[in-house]
Amino acid sequence: MLDKIKSNFTTQTWVLIPIAIAINVAIGQLVLVLKLPVFLDSIGTVLVAVLCGPWAGALTGALSNVIWGIAFDPGAFPWWPVAFFIGFMAGKMAEWGFFKSWWKVVVTGIVIALTAAIISTPISVYLFGGITASGSSFITAYLLQTGQGIWSAVVSTAFLTEPVDKITTAMLAFAIIQGLPKRTVAGYPKADQVEIEGGSDKNQMYIAIGIVVVLILFAAFLLRSILGG
């Protein structure tokens, strides 16, 4: 087990981790300010997890929220366990071959979403009363107004927004990796996990970008519908 953990952490990994953390915090903070019904604060985490391994991804996720909470938004700190398991599960899915084509990345996003929803729900309910600073809380508040209980409202929100967010996150990470020079990707410990199965790298990247655009438009429509209602 110790050897497996150590294999995740090469020089390239330690160089990538702070870059990934910066990506997480910058995009996460922007999304928070814009009150979008998604998070997009795990793109860097998934990048590290897929290219370097689950333990490197888990560390990146946890550190991202700790640093984010200390430097910018204290409300981000309690979510570090969620970020930890997002990174770990993304790395395991890549190990199992689910980062080699766009449709497998969709499956990866769904699995990560379920993981995040299960772990985040108790944190949301017990620490924040179901209402957090994220844009998804508009949906929770709306469901509470319709008479749903807090657990039902939080769970419903999570299972509505998490798949959109995590599939988008996984697809963006996938597109970034496919857009990188092959020599750059080859330097990471788990480079073999992102070798494309059939089709060209560029086609896979374009499909991923297309799916991201559709999901972002859906998220915008969802928020507009809730606010308009």
Tens digit of each residue's pLDDT, the chain (229 residues):
888 899 999 999 999 999 999 999 999 999 888 877 788 999 999 999 999 999 999 999 999 999 999 999 999 999 999 999 999 999 999 999 999 999 999 999 999 999 999 999 999 999 988 888 787 777 888 788 888 899 999 998 888 889 999 999 999 999 999 889 989 999 999 999 998 876 666 788 888 888 888 887 877 776 676 656 5
Q: Could you tell me the residue range of the domain that residue 177 belongs to?
A: 2-228
Q: What is the pTM of this model?
A: 0.91
Q: Tokens 């020079």 correspond to what residue?
A: 181
Q: What is the CATH number of the domain that holds 213?
A: 1.10.1760.20
**Helical (H) or strand (E) element with 24:** helix 11-34
Residue written as token pair 């107004």? 145
Task: Select from 161, 160, 137, 163 the least CA-distant residue to 150.
Answer: 137
Q: How far apart are CA 131 and CA 146, in angstroms?
A: 15
When computed from its CA atoms, the radius of gyration of the chain, rounded to whole angstroms, is 17
The values of phi and psi at residue 172, to 5°, are -65, -45
36 in Cβ contact with 219 (< 8 Å): yes
Number of other residues whose CB lies within 10 A of the CB of residue 159: 14
How many structural domains comprise the chain?
Answer: 1
Using DSSP's 3-state secondary structure scheme, residue 129 falls into coil
Instruction: Assess contact for 67 and 76: CB atoms under 8 A.
Output: no
